[in-house]
Amino acid sequence: MNISFIPAQIAYLVPVLTFLILAKLLSNRNILRRRRRRPMLDGSGYGVLITGCDSGFGHQLALRLDRRGFVVFAGCLFPDGTGATNLAQSSSSNLKILKLDVTSDEQVQHAKMMVQEQLPEKGLWAVVNNAGVTDWAEIEWSTTEDFQSMLDINLMGCIRTTIAFLPLVRAAKGRMVFMSSILAFFYCLNMSAYSVSKRGLEAFADCLRVEMASFGVKVSIVQPGNFGPATSIVKPKTAQDIWNKLNEQQKKTFNLQYVEQVVGYVAAMHRSGFKDANVVVDAMLHAVTSEQPKPRYLLVSFIDMFFFKMFPFLPTGLSDAVFSLSSMYTQRETTLYAE
């Protein structure tokens, strides 16, 4: 892109996008007001499968749906672990703990058999594909195995679970819900593997939504922003942890000073996130129980909402330039290759 054309593009795009986004936000606000007046689905007689219930969003959603009368099949990676034990103790007899590793075909099929054996009279209303992991690293710090591991859980795990349980949800004309992230469309430093997995997930969910419309099944994607403190999903790592995995050539390019700066930046970003997960759980609950669930739930602050609504429409040169405003990006250019 010729840089001389960027000001003209901005002059054209900004007022148009501002009008469209504000109109969309106002429309969404009015729709949400109407939706709040409508009764939500009574869970009595319906089943819901949720993956990733050991902790975080899935754990909280399982409790909320249990209180609404659903028969909840709570998939847990560690069914004898602290999270699953607490879940069982805090819920009614309608909540069933299932051992479920979404990377395992055998466990997914076994979970399907268990669900079918205990299915309530009105069938399986929804599957909430919530299980997922996150990690961060520069692409050159990563291996193909790092990418494969992320994809196996965040993408293939959802596909595997969806294909297995879709006939049951289709029979009930129910819901498929997918936990994604703003990083599915907002690319940034150090999050490539996670972004790839979530962008693939959204492509799958979008195709599924179009196909399932003919059967009366509604598909929703939940896109949280930074909810790290609310879920503890980001595992801490030290600069030395990263440094020890680099080869000599990488150490010459990404010196220890830069690695330390990245670790500090990621930790600060993590601390700045939302500490309350309720807004995400509310969106998941709405996607499962509302008469008219949204195709997408973008969950960021009101101020950030405008930026993230506009970002996908920016020319590539302009969206790339956004990162030059980041202090980390500036430090990166001055620190790389430094002795």
Helix (H, G, I), strand (E, B) or coil at 232: coil
Give buried/exposed letters for 300-329 (b at 16+ CB in 10 A, else e). beeeebeebbbbeebeeeeeeeeeeeeebe
Let me know: does 49 contact 128? Beta carbons within 8 Å: yes
Q: What are phi and psi of 223, to 5 degrees?
A: -120, 80
Catalytic one of 12, 46, 194, 297: 194
DSSP conformation letters of 77-113: S-TTSHHHHHHHHTS-TTEEEEE--TT-HHHHHHHHH
* Helix 6-37 vs helix 302-310: crossing angle, to nearest 10: 130
| 194 belongs to the catalytic site | yes
Greatest alpha-carbon pair distance for the chain in Å reads 68
* Helix 256-271 vs helix 327-335: crossing angle, to nearest 10: 170
Give the residue from 197, 115, 128, 125 showing the smallest Cα distance to 162. Answer: 128
Give the residue from 319, 289, 278, 240 showing the smallest Cα distance to 35. Answer: 289
DSSP conformation letters of 8-75: HHHHHHHHHHHHHHHHHHHHHHHHHHHHHHSPPPP-TT-EEEES--SSHHHHHHHHHHHHTT-EEEEE
* Residues annotated as catalytic (active site), given as ranges: 194
